[in-house]
Amino acid sequence: MRRKKNYYNTHNNYRVRKNRIVLVAIVGICFVIGLIVFLNYNRISMLSKGYSWSETSVVLKTFEKEDEKVILSYDRLDHIVAWVALSDTVEHYSYYQQYYDLIQINSDDDSLDYFDEHVNTVEFIDTLYSSLYPTLEELGYSEDHIWSLIPQSSIEEFEYVVEHAIAYSTVQHYLNVPTFKFSNALAYVEAYEEYNDYNYSVGIVNFPGIISSNNVSDEYVFNDPDNILNLVKKGFYLDSNYEPSDLVKPEIPIADESDDDFMVRKEAADALLLMYEAAKKEDMHILLNSAYRSYDKQAETYTNYENWYGGLYASEYVATPGASEHQTGLGIDLTSQSVLDGERMVFGDTDEYQWVLQNAHLYGFIVRFDEDSSDITGISHEPWHLRYLGVETSKDVYESGLTYEEYCLYNALFPNVSKK
């Protein structure tokens, strides 16, 4: 028994000693780990935010502990290596990221390479926050106002605001109108005196050529030629290569059946068939007299008129290539059976024209060039020419009693264009 007990005692002592050694070892290891964590706390925090090892190395090599803490207060900054290379204004890093994300989303300019984008970002934010922000605040702009304006405003625009002390209260009603530019702000305020409408004022200042009688020489090309609402006219051109991809032949009678070139966009073709059938029920017989016209065809016509009658005549009476609604695949010319039969001279004298005037909007069309509006549209009365806009807009235009030019201005349907 005794021996046995001794045996156990010895064994217990041995176990206790062994446990103690293990405990000391564990405490020691914990201490070492704790020390490592303590000394590398910022690196470990960065790693846990998703930064790569090499990114953390760049940051740790570049900054003091205080700046590292600022960086750690942000979510992961995807482009931190670029920011570090371009700027040491650490307190702006989250703005760089915010700006970069915003511009990425809003930009379709693929020409900038990665580095240029970052240079622009850093320059923009540093200028904005280091030199302009305090004055902008004094002028009444909140940070939210400023950020909502950034996608459409260059740094020069913000500099303009500061230089000309344009208060928020002066421009607040124009800020959300598409195409708003600070550099035109004072002109908007002046235009408002005349037009009493914020949308109209911004539109007419930015795009005076919408109203033809303003006789401006600015020339633009549409960036989104497929947009059904585009106001295509002299000064606002479709690209020479543009051809709608969904042209079809409408299933209504065509004035010249020998010519199978009568195509319109699918949506307009369907609407035209509905309109044709509705007219027919009321004993009105309309026919398609002209439809899609390619840029090349327009150019050819223009050159012919130039050769026959001279440049002055051509520029006055023939649409400049790219300026015709016929190239959209949404502009059509109608005629009637009575004209083809010689009972009427022109479509404008027919019952069909009267019917179209009253009903076209129900099918998505407007009579685009009516009497008395040639100074606005730049086109003299063309009763036969209809433009497809879709039912919703065509009804709205019809009820407004406005030309499409004025309708676009009042409703801020401004062209998405680039300078030609």
Question: 387 burial class (0-12, 13-18, 19+ CB within 10 angstroms)?
Answer: buried
> The tokens of 227 are what?
């947009």
Q: Please identify, using beta-carbon distances, which residue of 180 and 369 lies nearer to Zn ion.
A: 369
Q: Does 233 bind Zn ion (CB under 5 A)?
A: no
Per-residue binding string, Zn ion, 274-313, x by CB under 5 A, is ----------------------------------------
Q: Which member of 243, 382, 392, 406 is catalytic?
A: 382
Q: Which stretch binds Zn ion (CB under 5 A): 41-49, 135-143, 204-212, 379-387?
A: 379-387
Q: In angstroms, give the least distance from the CB of 318 to Zn ion.
A: 12
Q: How far is the CB of 165 from Zn ion (least distance, A)?
A: 50
C-alpha distances out from residue 384 to 42, 61, 317, 326, 349, Å: 75, 75, 16, 13, 10
Report the residue from 385, 404, 407, 408 that binds Zn ion according to the rule CB under 5 A.
385
Q: Which residue is nearest to Zn ion (CB)?
A: 385
CB of 293 to Zn ion, least distance (A): 8
Closest CA to 187 of 163, 218, 208, 210: 208
Q: Which stretch binds Zn ion (CB under 5 A): 148-156, 249-257, 295-303, 380-388?
A: 380-388
Q: How far is the CB of 347 from Zn ion (least distance, A)?
A: 11
Q: Using an 8 Å Cβ cutoff, are 315 and 323 in contact? A: no
Q: Which residues contact 405 (CB under 8 A, 6 or more apart)?
A: 210, 211, 212, 231, 233, 376, 377
Nearer to Zn ion, 77 or 291 (CB): 291
**Cβ 233 to Zn ion shortest distance, Å:** 12
- Least distance from C-beta 231 to Zn ion, angstroms? 15
Spatial separation of the C-alpha atoms in residues 101 and 119, rounded to whole Å: 14
Q: List the structure tokens of 268.
A: 């307009």
Selected range binding Zn ion among 99-107, 195-203, 237-245, 382-390, rule: CB under 5 A: 382-390
The crossing angle, in degrees rounded to 10, of helices 351-359 and 266-281 is 120
Nearer to Zn ion, 132 or 291 (CB): 291
What's phi and psi for 227, nearest 5 deg? Answer: -60, 120
CA angle 133, 139, 141 (to 5 degrees): 65
C-alpha torsion sign, points 344, 347, 352, 357: negative
Q: Determine whether 68 is an active site residue.
A: no
The size of the interface with Zn ion (CB under 5 A), counted in residues, is 2
Give, as ranges, the residues between 319 and 358 that touch Zn ion (CB under 5 A): 333
Sheet of strand 220-222, all strands in order from the earlier edge strand to the far edge? 236-237, 220-222, 417-419
Closest CB to Zn ion among 55 and 333? 333
Nearer to Zn ion, 118 or 385 (CB): 385
Binding site for Zn ion (CB under 5 A): 333, 385
Catalytic residue ranges: 382
